Structure 1
Amino acid sequence: MIFRSLLLAASCTFWGGTALAEPGPAISGPINTRITGDIVPTHDPVLVKEKATYYVFGTGHMVSVKTSPDLIHWTAQPPLFTDLPDWATRAVPGSKDMWAPDMSFFGGRWHLYYAVSTFGSNRSAIGLFTSPTLDPKAPDYRWKDEGPVVMSHPSDDFNAIDPNHFIDADDHHWLALGSFWGGIKLFALDPRSGKLLDPPGTPITIARRHAPAGGPAPIEAPFLVSHDGYYYLFVSYDYCCKGANSTYYTVVGRSKDVRGPYQGKDGSRLIDGEGTIVLRADLEEQERFRGPGHPGFLRDTDGKDYLVYHAYDRLNHGASTLRISPVEWSADGWPVASR
């Protein structure tokens, strides 16, 4: 499956462009020891910032919304939508919700990519909404349905869920997506429309797992980040959505080319189902937050980096919980997420 994402910023610095923003708040001490408010349930979070407000969007209730002034105190807001677009219910019969939202800001508008599917099926679609602002009180606030972006069918070797929009150093736009099946795919996008090029190019496989004969290949939730001349690809392995029994964990690889190959610190390749672990469950003697994954990445206006993800709280009946980890970069250029 399937639930997921995060990008950074409108009215802040983001991959592929800049916009004005207020400085971020001073954060001291581990965020996850102090985070409070409406952090449950949170699944597949994407974290962005507009002006002085942080937003977390996630799977559920037609895109769940939480806001915070400081990354610590979170308040649930009304969901973005009440119903699926008509095209989505026709394209994916039985679909009832929007999964794994991804937010990016370009062309003067926020672009919300989201997935529509049913559990265990690759008859799926990724759609797009746009709005000039995230603030419901702003006079120009309005989400426009831009329709479908890409679809997958049982005959395809990919699953069109878990979207992540990315702009590379040459201002080329890409959409990474995928879950199980043939792994993570990369599609080239038209920068004006935010949709596939016309005619669409061939999708590029950038990560995958090798399943045992007849078995599943659990990989999903891609997220692309640029740092110091490299592209970094985060993906989650194994199984989410099983509460405290979830085995989800997240790995990262990097490449000089956005199309790959992505390699871990030891040279292992994400195309071979390997890479460098960046998020995993707490130590056995703690055993509280299990299955951390489906991460997003925020580079804040003060230059600090954060990974946002969900994990399942064993002390709260396995509830899917918002987690935010500051990221430091090692001397040899690898992200280290603190707890």
Structure 2
Amino acid sequence: MKKTWILACLAAVGIILMVVFRGQEDSTPVPVPEFPTEPPEYSLVNPAHIHNQEKWGIMNTHDPALVKDGEMYYTFSTDIMVGGSYPFGIMVRRSEDLIDWQYIGQALEDIPEEAMEWANPENLWAPDVVKMNDTYYLYYSVSRFGVNRSYIGLATSDSIEGPWEHQGKVIKTSGSDPVNAIDPNITFDRDGVPWMVYGSFWEGIHLLEIDPATGKPVEDGFGKLLAVRDYMADRAIEGPNIVYNPDLDMYYLFSSYGSLNSDYNVRVARANEITGPYVDYNGNDLTDLSVRPVYEAGTKLIGGYKLGNEHGWVAPGHNTVLQDGENFFMAHHARAQADPNWSYLHIRKILWTEDGWPVVSPSRYAGETLQPIPESMLIGEWEHLRHPRNEINVTSRSIELLSNGVVVADDGEHKWAFEGESTLVLTWDTEQGDVVETVTVHPGWDWRNDKPTLYFTGLDEDGVSAWGKKDEVNLDE
């Protein structure tokens, strides 16, 4: 009996010590995260730079394809120029860090006569570049706005910087065809087989298997339908891009919805197989035209927005996604709210929700990494916005996170809680019931105010994207 009593006492002491030490461990302060250093300054909407290509940087970028070759990053993009006309050729930019971009010229010196005669283009659109069998394949679109007499062409090179040799037609469509041969993107399935996703308006987005020896389709025809919109939405879907996430063993179809100059926005759906079916966060199949209202299909990641006093952006879209080691990055263009004639390259870091959906940072990439965040750094004033699927351009509102778990906003008091190392849960009390946003907090750079700060990004339980930016961060905490 005495022995049993002693053992029980020792066990109790052990439990107490374990609790004490665990409490000490849990109470270890989280260090201040490492913030990005000051990136290069880009002067936006500056007429002095119109004819100075050395100053273009991210300016005049539209429909960017983002690729990595060795230690260097490249974008290939549509031929456009604010305040002037730009010759055929496909713009090329280069960067060592995805932050500081230099315009380095054009990929192509001429356009095949067949393509010119078929489509009579005003410029070249929406290129894509991929490396297969030690050869670089450059795909490009030849068309005119509002018609589907279009042509996807191909050029090859031993170097990503060229020179490029034309290889002719990949696919072309005419006015009598149900699809539109533009916006090519090459992706590889889990077995390394290349596929081309393409299309715009008309009967939507299609997928073709590609022969890696030629870079052209294995079979004739338009391929398999992956996504479409109906006449009520003016069939506005284009700029497709498929990405395979090996950790999740899922395929993600990104595409742009809406009008190029006003309500363009990027949406995503996912599938177990590259051929689909692709469904959004709410289970909508992107080929199901019975989904009503029509704007509900697709999980919207980014649309036009203004976050605090930052520069406002309209019509962000035509993205590509790059997997770089463990990181994923989205490249897209966006137009300056101050003057939508000016189009700029945006690179954003992609984060992943616990249930396997991509979300994008509210800020252009400046070298930030995902790190544990001290809970005390969350307390204070923030800018907060949501990207509802049916709203064109959204503006943030000011909120304040108090130390007692209360969120003060213009419509009353709500709740917040911090979970794990960087997960913030915001619970909004609305007339329709609680709306819960689960977001990831990460360091970033406030490009407009030239300082480091905290951002958050995530989704609510209905798949609506939510963003935030802290007004001031105390780096000495």
> Normalising to structure 1: TM-score of the pair?
0.82
Which one of the candidate residues 69, 76, 80 is aligned to 1:50? 69
Q: Is the 8 A contact 2:242 2:252 kept in 1?
A: yes
Highest Rg: 1 or 2?
A: 2
Separation in 1 of the partners of 2:127 and 2:154?
10
The Cα of 1:79 is off from its aligned counterpart by 1.0
AA at the equivalent of 1:196:
P
Report how far residue 205 of structure 1 moved: 0.7
Q: Which residue of 2 aligns with 1:208?
A: 228
Q: 1:220 — aligned with what?
A: 238
User: Which stretches in structure 2 are left out of the alignment for 5+ residues?
Assistant: 1-33, 43-54, 80-86, 289-293, 363-477
Aligned pair in 2 of structure 1 residues 256, 75: CA closer, same or farther (>3 Å)? same
CA offsets, 1:106-155, max 9 Å, x none? Answer: 111111111101111100010111112124xxxxx431111100001111
CA-CA distance at 1:310 after TM superposition: 0.4
Aligned to 1:123: 149
Q: For residue 313 of structure 2, what is the aligned residue in structure 1? A: 289
User: Is 1:313 matched up with 2:331?
Assistant: no
Change (3 A) 1:230 1:90: same
1:91 aligns with 2:118: yes
Q: Which has the higher contact order (CA 8 A, sep 6+)?
A: 1
Structure 1 position 194 matched with structure 2 position 248:
no
**Would you say how many aligned residue pairs link Structure 1 and Structure 2?**
298
The Cα offsets for residues 30-54 of structure 1, whole Å up to 9 and x where unpaired, read as 99x8664611111000111212221
8 Å CA contact 2:264–2:315 kept in 1: the answer is yes
Name the CA distance, whole Å, in 1 between partners of 2:37 and 2:257: 25
1:101 equivalent in alignment to 2:127: yes
Give distance in 1, aligned partners of 2:164 and 2:35. Answer: 35
Partner of 1:263: 279
Summarize the Cα distance change of 1:248–1:295 in structure 2 as closer, same or farther, 3 Å threshold: same
Shift, 1:284, TM fit: 7.4
Contact kept in structure 2, 1:164 and 1:176, CA below 8 Å: yes
Same amino acid, percent of matched pairs: 36
Q: Are the aligned partners of 1:188 and 1:200 in contact in 2 as well (CA < 8 Å)?
A: no
Offset at residue 91 of structure 1 (A): 2.0
The separation in 1 between residues aligned to 2:145 and 2:67, in whole angstroms, is 27
Residue in structure 2 matching 1:184, options 205, 218, 222: 205
Separation of aligned partners in 2, 1:171 and 1:51: 19
Structure 1 counterpart of 2:139, from 113, 120, 131: 113
- Confirm or deny that 1:299 pairs with 2:315: no
